[in-house]
């Protein structure tokens, strides 16, 4: 097929898939700026930092600003490369999340709906730049069709209040997010990674029986989530220790 000024060869592969979902478990996904995605499985959390994507965004904007003509060949090349790199990041991230969910018997993924966030709160110059540059909607679409291959259902829910509420006792207080990345509930004493707390709140939107349980569940995992990073050398998402510990 002819696409954007060049011929491309597309391959379609057919393979058999299981008729049913991997299991009945539910995962919650909170999308954000510092951590592009935070995933809660109810007894384990995973953070996906967006540092690699942010570095690309700033680099391409800097190089793009050097172009005198926005329609020049160099400007067009930079725009195309930026789109390709961003798309690859989103593909790698969504694929890894779906694979982790399939491993844990997840049959439903709940994603916070950010459709109205761009027109609301001001996040400052840097925050707005990141927020508008990251294709949250496109990521959710990728997550959806990759999950469909595993017969995992993806649903979106309103995420209002999920960042300010305690996922253990449901106390709502904006001041409980005491510093970047840390959430401390004064009511029940829960200490958690703020994004994982948000992801668990999103998960509980379809599991209301878990909310307000008085802290009976073990929630220590919320304070120490696993971290998976995008490895630019391989173009894949891997555990943080493997990426950070790789020899140059």
| pLDDT digit string, tens, across residues 53-98 | 888 888 988 998 899 888 888 999 998 998 899 899 999 999 999 9
Instruction: Please check the confidence at residue 8 and state whether its pLDDT lies above 50.
Output: yes
DSSP 111-142: EEE-TTGGGS---HHHHHHHHHHS-HHHHHHH
- Concatenated DSSP letters for 160-207? TTTTTB-TTT--B-GGG--BTTEEE-TTT--EEEHHHHHHHHHHHTS-
Sequence-separated (6 or more) residues with CB below 8 Å from residue 96: 48, 228, 236, 237
Q: Domain spans of the chain?
A: 2-244
Q: How many CB atoms lie within 10 A of CB 82?
A: 18
Residue 27: CB atoms within 10 Å: 28
Q: Identify the CATH assignment for 2-244 out of 3.40.190.10, 3.40.50.12780, 2.40.37.10, 3.30.420.140.
A: 3.30.420.140
pLDDT number for residue 187: 86
* The pLDDT of residue 165 is above 70: yes
Q: pLDDT tens across 176-208, in order?
A: 666 668 888 888 888 999 999 999 999 999 886
Q: Report pTM.
A: 0.82
Report yes or no: 153 and 121 within 8 Å, Cβ to Cβ.
Answer: no
pLDDT of residue 94: 97
């Amino acid at each position: 097929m002819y696409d954007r000024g060049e011929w491309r060869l597309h391959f379609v592969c057919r393979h058999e898939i299981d008729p049913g979902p991997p299991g009945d478990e539910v995962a919650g996904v909170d999308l954000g700026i510092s951590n592009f995605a935070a995933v809660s499985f109810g007894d384990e959390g995973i953070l996906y930092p967006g540092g690699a994507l942010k570095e690309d965004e700033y680099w391409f904007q800097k190089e793009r600003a050097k172009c005198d003509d926005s329609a020049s060949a160099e400007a067009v090349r930079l725009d195309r490369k930026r789109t390709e790199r961003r798309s690859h990041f989103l593909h790698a991230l969504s694929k890894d999340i779906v694979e982790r969910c399939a491993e844990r018997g997840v049959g439903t993924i709940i994603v916070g709906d950010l459709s109205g966030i761009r027109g609301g709160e001001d996040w400052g110059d840097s925050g707005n730049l990141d927020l508008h540059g990251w294709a949250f909607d496109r990521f959710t679409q990728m997550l959806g069709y990759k999950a469909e291959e595993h017969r995992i259902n993806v649903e979106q829910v309103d995420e209002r209040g999920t960042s300010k509420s305690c996922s253990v006792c449901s106390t709502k207080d904006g001041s409980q997010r005491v510093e970047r990345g840390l959430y401390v509930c004064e009511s029940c004493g829960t200490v958690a990674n703020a994004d994982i707390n948000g992801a668990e709140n999103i998960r509980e939107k379809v599991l209301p029986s878990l909310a307000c349980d008085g802290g009976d569940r073990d929630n220590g995992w919320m304070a120490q989530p696993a971290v998976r990073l995008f490895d630019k050398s391989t173009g894949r998402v891997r555990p943080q220790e493997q990426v950070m510990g790789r020899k140059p």
